[in-house]
A and B are shown apart, each in its own frame.
Chain A
């Protein structure tokens, strides 16, 4: 584990206000989801998951075909598809289009993909103003932070912090009433929507048979982003495809329920191309940017390519006992929680944060709630193995490997195992409650092991002893 990861975790654990905020917000989302999938409200919930998994598997296994069908359909409706291999190609495309059209202001709706490639920073570096319009995203853009949660980006901010931010950045009188804060943001952003030259959105789904971009939201900012400016650019990862519009019957039901417990979100936009002849409003130009940025690397791994089924509902974060303690900003990349723990090493390499796949109790809650049934714990185990192999290649972790070799030998020799158990129990210090913690071993190899683990006190009698005496 890197020092930065360790430090952020400890900072989060030591902040009681933040702990409460995370606990309350994720707890509420867990409860809303639970109510929405109750059998009398959603009797076919498990069938929907199975079906969603089958559709995603099929689409990912034939992704080239669906990408081509999607491109043909977008072009048939007068739109353009731009394939980009990385972040730089996306910003180059947006910048050159902005330059050609003399655009100065971009409005953005929420998109994890554009967070992944730091699109705002790249555009602002070239003096192009790019404003986030989802309320939570707007707040974290004002704070120069990254999203704390996939669906609730400003989950960690209190109304007092928001009040300070609005006053500091917008020069408005301090306002701590949430309704009024929201209306301040509405007024500022309304002006931006009406003045913007380009709207940049993400996409929840790309529909191959229709050439359509599907966006779900509650605020209406994505609708404004995609219908007020004359140019709409949707940026999406290549894995967002589904074969048919009819498949939305499965995915929309799962996404709203899993994310926020809604049967459908307030707005679902199904956008296929620029405005048509005689339509009064809507964009004149429609672009879909299809981003690789490491996805084809994930795709090449037969066992782990299911990571690309993710529909970004955030349910695995809300249910994760680790996320609920260490929060979103402890994670080393924009994707946090269990899905972040499997995406980050695959996109950025296992050496980026070797501790990440280990920051899990493997309790399995994430897999249980995943609407597309990604087997996150299994992928975490495989990534742990890859971390250890990489360490071995780097010549690190010799002591740990030796310890495990000895352990394996002891485990295969029952008498040895019993003796070792007795020896360990008699050596273990008892400080108060009998738990073995890091403190007594402040040096040496045991420190590394115990820094992340507390051991329960040894039982008075071992199981073998009790078995003999029964």
Chain B
């Protein structure tokens, strides 16, 4: 509609011409500290727990499966198609629905299942954040609609923080249409500043570090 009109006004306001060159922006400011893996895992777990999330460290696929089986505890769950879930045998657990590739089917499953299970592509140690890149293996609604969300993250994917993430993924759009950072359970304090969890997204988050 008004593309050229608006751009023209912007250029006039700035005294610039169309196509005029631009100096380099100030350099990106990324500070990546050296933190060993044990300290990263510990910081990550502490941060999530400070936000009322739960964490569990699993040394084997069997431990992951047993832990998730107790979390789901006879309820139903929707699991993503991520390889890490299959490797841990989550798809074989009773009550777990997986392998969905149809949008409507996914929506229906996610809006009724009490639990959602997916992998996380990275985790950020200093903030307790999960990083999710949407893909054919990872749908968005699994970490969003069910009231309980369970994420699996591989130990090697634990980064120090946002700066390291953005130095590994300087242009996230080249890999995914949606990168979401999740830091704790959904929350609000919109009425009288009283904290309530699970307002729209999951109120309960469990992270398994594999």
Choose one: B5, B25, B201; the contact of A55 (CB below 8 Å): B25
Question: In the bound complex, do residue A267 and residue B201 qualify as a contact, i.e. CB atoms below 8 Å apart?
Answer: yes
A300 neighbours in B (Cβ, 8 Å)? 12-13
Which residues of B in the span 121-163 have a Cβ within 8 Å of any Cβ on A? 126-127, 129, 134-136, 139-141, 144-145, 162-163
Q: Smallest Cβ distance from B151 to chain A, in angstroms?
A: 14
| Consensus secondary structure, chain B interface | loop
In chain B, what residue has the closest Cβ to A109? B200
Known: A55-B25, A178-B192. A264 touches B10 (CB 8 A): no
B188 interface residue, CB < 8 Å from A? yes
Q: Hey, what's the 0/1 contact readout for A160-188 against B, CB within 8 Å counting as 1?
A: 00100000000000000011011001100
A268 interface residue, CB < 8 Å from B? yes
Of listed A247, A265, A272, residue having the most chain B CB within 10 A: A272
A244 neighbours in B (Cβ, 8 Å)? 25, 28, 170
How many residues on the A side are at the interface (Cβ–Cβ under 8 A)?
102
Question: In the bound complex, do residue A276 and residue B177 qualify as a contact, i.e. CB atoms below 8 Å apart?
Answer: yes
Choose one: B135, B162, B191; the contact of A248 (CB below 8 Å): B162
A129 interface residue, CB < 8 Å from B? no
Q: Hey, what's the 0/1 contact readout for B82-120 against A, CB within 8 Å counting as 1?
A: 000000000000000000111100110001000000000
Question: In the bound complex, do residue A82 and residue B1 qualify as a contact, i.e. CB atoms below 8 Å apart?
Answer: yes
A58 interface residue, CB < 8 Å from B? yes
Q: Smallest Cβ distance from B181 to chain A, in angstroms?
A: 4
A179 neighbours in B (Cβ, 8 Å)? 194, 196
Question: In the bound complex, do residue B196 and residue A159 qualify as a contact, i.e. CB atoms below 8 Å apart?
Answer: no
Question: In the bound complex, do residue A249 and residue B163 qualify as a contact, i.e. CB atoms below 8 Å apart?
Answer: yes
Q: Hey, what's the 0/1 contact readout for B14-27 against A, CB within 8 Å counting as 1?
A: 10101010110110
A135 neighbours in B (Cβ, 8 Å)? 188, 190-191, 199
A150 neighbours in B (Cβ, 8 Å)? none
B69 interface residue, CB < 8 Å from A? no
Choose one: A238, A274, A282; the contact of B6 (CB below 8 Å): A238
Of listed A51, A154, A247, A270, residue having the most chain B CB within 10 A: A270
A238 neighbours in B (Cβ, 8 Å)? 6, 10
A279 interface residue, CB < 8 Å from B? yes
Which residues of B in the span 174-205 have a Cβ within 8 Å of any Cβ on A? 176-194, 196, 198-202
Question: In the bound complex, do residue B171 and residue A209 qualify as a contact, i.e. CB atoms below 8 Å apart?
Answer: yes
Question: In the bound complex, do residue A194 and residue B111 qualify as a contact, i.e. CB atoms below 8 Å apart?
Answer: yes
A93 neighbours in B (Cβ, 8 Å)? 1
A68 neighbours in B (Cβ, 8 Å)? 7
Choose one: B11, B28, B170, B191; the contact of A139 (CB below 8 Å): B191
B5 neighbours in A (Cβ, 8 Å)? 83, 85
Question: In the bound complex, do residue A85 and residue B6 qualify as a contact, i.e. CB atoms below 8 Å apart?
Answer: yes
A59 neighbours in B (Cβ, 8 Å)? 25
Question: In the bound complex, do residue B177 and residue A282 qualify as a contact, i.e. CB atoms below 8 Å apart?
Answer: yes
B59 neighbours in A (Cβ, 8 Å)? none
Question: In the bound complex, do residue A243 and residue B25 qualify as a contact, i.e. CB atoms below 8 Å apart?
Answer: yes
Complex CA–CA separation, A47 to B29 (angstroms): 10
A329 interface residue, CB < 8 Å from B? no
Known: A154-B191, A275-B134, A280-B103. A250 touches B182 (CB 8 A): no
Question: In the bound complex, do residue A54 and residue B26 qualify as a contact, i.e. CB atoms below 8 Å apart?
Answer: yes
Question: In the bound complex, do residue A265 and residue B134 qualify as a contact, i.e. CB atoms below 8 Å apart?
Answer: no
Question: In the bound complex, do residue A219 and residue B201 qualify as a contact, i.e. CB atoms below 8 Å apart?
Answer: yes
Known: A65-B22, A77-B177, A299-B13. A249 touches B193 (CB 8 A): no
A212 interface residue, CB < 8 Å from B? yes
A332 interface residue, CB < 8 Å from B? no
Question: In the bound complex, do residue A282 and residue B25 qualify as a contact, i.e. CB atoms below 8 Å apart?
Answer: no
In chain B, what residue has the closest Cβ to A248? B166
Choose one: A193, A210, A220, A274; the contact of B199 (CB below 8 Å): A220
Choose one: A55, A178, A220, A268; the contact of B194 (CB below 8 Å): A178
Known: A64-B7, A219-B200, A263-B127. A245 touches B170 (CB 8 A): yes
A153 interface residue, CB < 8 Å from B? yes
Question: In the bound complex, do residue B199 and residue A63 qualify as a contact, i.e. CB atoms below 8 Å apart?
Answer: no
Choose one: A63, A209, A212, A228; the contact of B14 (CB below 8 Å): A63
Choose one: B2, B103, B179, B190; the contact of A281 (CB below 8 Å): B103
Question: In the bound complex, do residue B6 and residue A299 qualify as a contact, i.e. CB atoms below 8 Å apart?
Answer: no
A264 neighbours in B (Cβ, 8 Å)? 127, 129, 162, 181, 183
Choose one: B10, B102, B173; the contact of A245 (CB below 8 Å): B173
Complex CA–CA separation, A244 to B172 (angstroms): 11
A158 neighbours in B (Cβ, 8 Å)? 192
B188 neighbours in A (Cβ, 8 Å)? 135-136, 182, 218-219
Q: Smallest Cβ distance from B182 to chain A, in angstroms?
A: 6
Of listed B1, B170, B184, residue having the most chain A CB within 10 A: B1
Question: In the bound complex, do residue A182 and residue B199 qualify as a contact, i.e. CB atoms below 8 Å apart?
Answer: yes
Choose one: A58, A81, A85, A272; the contact of B172 (CB below 8 Å): A272
Choose one: B10, B129, B141, B169; the contact of A67 (CB below 8 Å): B10
Choose one: B18, B111, B173, B194; the contact of A77 (CB below 8 Å): B173
Complex CA–CA separation, A126 to B174 (angstroms): 39
Question: In the bound complex, do residue B26 and residue A55 qualify as a contact, i.e. CB atoms below 8 Å apart?
Answer: yes
Q: Smallest Cβ distance from B167 to chain A, in angstroms?
A: 8
For the complex of A and B, the 3 pairs showing the least CB-CB separation, nearest first, are A220-B201, A136-B190, A272-B173
28 contacts between A and B (CB under 8 A): A25-B193, A51-B29, A55-B26, A58-B23, A62-B22, A63-B14, A64-B10, A82-B1, A83-B2, A152-B190, A179-B196, A190-B111, A219-B186, A219-B201, A227-B140, A246-B30, A246-B167, A267-B180, A267-B186, A267-B201, A269-B179, A272-B173, A275-B178, A278-B136, A280-B139, A281-B103, A281-B106, A282-B134
